Amino acid sequence: MSHADKRHERLRERLRERRWRITPQRRSVVEALSGPNLHLTAEEIFARARTVVPEISRATVYNTLRELVEMGELAEMQIGPGPALYDPNAVVHHHHLVCSSCGRIYDIHPLGVEHLDLREEDRDGFELQRAEVVFHGRCRACKESEDT
């Protein structure tokens, strides 16, 4: 059984524990979100969910996504303009790598994050909670198809 499958199974378990009512619609949304290194828009999730439950409405998809985000089971992120992306890999905190040429996004665990800190002159009584790092660059595939 894959890492993603295990993650998905644990998620279903947590949802059951929380007495979150699992309906066919909600299940289809949660299923649309299983898979590794996945970053989908609400519209893509809607499309996937529809292949399983054709009568599902956009409102339900948005409601379900909001609830999962509130429960901490799903991360919502905004990389540049355009629609929000949903990242099912929310339980373990991680960072992102964005290819500026194809736009693909990868989950990463960079080195040096724990040493990031504010300078004295920037601090001004601020209480740090977390740091978010986004790397931009060019992925192998885009570098190799070097046809500028």
Q: Based on the shown chain and the rule CB under 8 A, indicate whether residue 103 belongs to the binding site for a second copy.
A: no
Binder among 41, 51, 100, 145 for DNA (CB under 7 A): 41
List CB contacts of 95: < 8 A, sequence separation 6 or more. Answer: 107, 108, 109, 110, 113, 132, 133, 134, 135
Only one of the segments 10-18, 52-60, 91-99, 132-140 lies at the binding site for DNA (rule: CB under 7 A); that segment is 52-60
Q: Does 112 engage in binding with DNA (CB under 7 A)?
A: no
Closest residue by Cα to residue 29 from 1, 71, 57: 57
Tokens of 145: 């198809």
Q: Which amino acid is at 103?
A: G
Amino acid at 125: G
Regarding 130 and contact with a second copy (CB under 8 A), the answer is yes
Site for DNA in 66-85 (CB under 7 A): 66, 81-84
- Nearer of residues 55 and 121 to DNA, judged by Cβ: 55
Q: What is the token pair recorded at 60?
A: 């339900």
Residues of this chain that bind a second copy (CB under 8 A): 76, 78-81, 84, 97, 99-100, 106, 108-113, 115-119, 122, 124-140, 143
